[in-house]
Amino acid sequence: MPGARRERAAVAPCARVNWLKGSCGYVRQLGERAPTATTATPEIRVDVPEERKFDLVARAVAHFSSRYPVNTIDGVRITFPDGWGLLRASNTQPILVLRFEASDQRSLDAARREVVDWLAGQGVRA
């Protein structure tokens, strides 16, 4: 029996290598579907009166959800065609926090401009 155990011990690493070889196609496919490099803004802080900040987020949800998919956990995260934007009210300061990320600079600028222009229409300068 000791000989059979040594044989299994010698075969086991080969079996693992063969298993990994079979998995390489799957791993390669995952890599191909991985997101490409993106461009993003730092956190943008916009001063707003304390009494307006949550109302502005609610209005942003109503406005942008009629045009794009949105997620309303902790503000409004807007999914644009080539990126996303986030507008949320700070819980500790009289500010709105904005962030944007996109696949390229042009898409980032377009998403940011759309949100900033909407804020301007609400009387907020960002």
Q: Is the separation of the CB atoms in 85 and 39 below 8 Å?
A: no
Residue type, 62: A
Provide the CB-side half-sphere exposure for 79 (13 A, CA).
Answer: 4
Residues 48 and 102 in one domain: yes
pLDDT tops 80 at residue 10: no
pLDDT in tens, 43-80: 999 999 999 999 999 999 999 999 999 999 999 999 99
- Say if residue 54 is in the same domain as residue 99: yes
Give the C-alpha distances (Å, rounded to integers) separating 89 from 2, 8, 9, 60, 75: 69, 62, 60, 11, 7
Residues 18 and 63 in one domain: no
Res 4: pLDDT:
56
- 115 shares a domain with 86: yes
The pairing of strands 70-71 and 76-80 is: antiparallel
Using CA atoms in the order 60, 63, 69, 70, what is the torsion angle rounded to 10 degrees?
A: 20
How far does CA 68 lie from the centroid of its chain?
A: 15
Structural domain boundaries, residue 29: 1-34
Flag whether pLDDT at 27 surpasses 90. no
> Is 126 part of a structural domain of the chain?
no
Are 65 and 83 found together in one domain?
Answer: yes
Mean pLDDT value of segment 21-25: 59
Question: Quick check: 117 and 103 in contact, CB under 8 A?
Answer: no
Per-residue model confidence (pLDDT) at position 9:
60
Distance, CA of 76 to CA of 114 (rounded, Å)? 14
pLDDT of res. 20: 55
pLDDT at 12: 62
Between CA 24 and CA 36, with CA 28 as vertex, the angle to 5 degrees is: 160
Query: Does residue 68 lie within any of the structural domains?
Result: yes
pLDDT digits (tens, 9 = 90+) for 87-126: 999 999 999 999 999 999 999 999 999 999 999 999 999 9
